[in-house]
Amino acid sequence: MTQHVNYDTNEYPKTLLLGVYAPYNPTKNVTSYFEEFVNLAKTNNVQNYQTEFIKIRDIDAAYFLTKGKLQEIKDLCVKDKIEQVIISETLSAQQERNLSDFLDCSIFDRTHLILEIFEKNAHSAEGKMQVGIAMMQFQKSRLAGQGVGMSQQRGVRGMRGGYGETRKEKDRRHIENTILKLTKQLEALQSTRNTQRKHRLTTGVPQICIIGYTNAGKSTILNALTKSNVLAEDKLFATLDTTTRELYIDKKKVGVISDTVGFIQQLPHKLIEAFKSTLSELQYADLLVQVVDISDQNWESQIQVVHEILKELEVEKDMVYVFNKADKAIGIENMTGAMSKYQPYVITSALHKETLKPLADYLGSWSERTKKKPLITT
């Protein structure tokens, strides 16, 4: 299936968004997997694009795409004068380079695309550092595959870098030094965060974390519950940094509540690693509020994605499900059976604050039930 979007502009490179349904992909709804991929590209401000969605039965170790498909895509790129291809999957450095040579285009894979979105959306010092480290590690992996021949540089004996050091080695050392520097800065910041967290733990304040698939409405719910002004945007990954607020219900302090980075299917492994520390907040949570966009046809598999990531992070906590965007969920009245598999749950339309009352009531009574005793400090 090919779809053209012509903006009649030379300002942006002519881009092919190549959605690939690969054999390892567990999604049941491939259409929404592809839609989500196009949304990721749009979130990254990709313009002047056309789409092509294909299914492959095998993965080629060298080119990712097997011979026949590869030739089809090559023909398409030549015919439509494509300058860059963004592919919905994660490629190895070797596959990326081979594809780029064969198609004669720039290639961006899923990791690169998500990293660029993360880079634009990280606002806090911690978020920026985490993305910076992930970006550097990505660049390092791409460097590893580059040939040395072309970038051979003449070194000067006795100088730093040494005789005959290649450009690649220099670049690698620069990247490694930057990663080291950023990691140290991050550790220093995290130790401040740990001190604050320890303080909260010792004072026995309950911790509530809002989690969920990207764009489900987490920030909107946090804003509505705490009357704060956290960025809520109709874009994927608008929130990357953990925001923590005090939560009062009926003028009684219930605890502190945090927003977290949105989850997404096929989140490249490198990025889970990068965000483990942002998500470390979850280890200390007493309650997880999982926000689900019930108007998305794929809501059940999005819950599964969230559960898989939690498993990977070894987080097992009490959870309340918030089926949000009820206002635009067609046929919600027939979905009670499906929703009741996830207990306890409430239904909300966070744009209309009054619909949050069942959630506020739940949090109020949860807080009464689980009044924490302050921990004894050592």
Binding site for ligand GTP (CB under 6 A): 212, 214-220, 232-234, 236-239, 262, 324-325, 327-328, 349-351
Closest CB to ligand GTP among 182 and 216? 216
Two structure tokens written together for 278: 């942002």
Nearest approach in angstroms of CB 323 to ligand GTP is: 10
Closest CB to ligand GTP among 108 and 263? 263
Candidates 365, 373, 372; CA nearest to 344 is 365
Q: Nearest-CB residue to ligand GTP?
A: 262
CA distance 41 to 116: 10
Identify the three-state secondary structure at position 39: helix
Neighbours of 220 (CB within 10 A): 22
Candidates 56, 57, 51; CA nearest to 18 is 51
Nearest approach in angstroms of CB 82 to ligand GTP is: 29
Closest CB to ligand GTP among 132 and 217? 217
Nearest approach in angstroms of CB 26 to ligand GTP is: 21
Q: Cite the DSSP H helix spans in 65-124.
A: 67-79, 93-103, 110-121
CA distance 19 to 261: 24
Closest CB to ligand GTP among 11 and 354? 354
Closest CB to ligand GTP among 84 and 215? 215
Residues in contact with 133: Cβ distance below 8 Å, sequence separation at least 6, in sequence order: 179, 182, 183, 186, 274
Candidates 219, 208, 224; CA nearest to 281 is 208
Candidates 275, 126, 273, 280; CA nearest to 197 is 280
Closest CB to ligand GTP among 83 and 327? 327
CA distance 268 to 88: 11
Nearest approach in angstroms of CB 98 to ligand GTP is: 33
Closest CB to ligand GTP among 127 and 132? 127
Nearest approach in angstroms of CB 324 to ligand GTP is: 5
Nearest approach in angstroms of CB 319 to ligand GTP is: 16
Burial class, 212, CB count within 10 angstroms (exposed 0-12 / middle 13-18 / buried 19+)? buried
Nearest approach in angstroms of CB 322 to ligand GTP is: 10
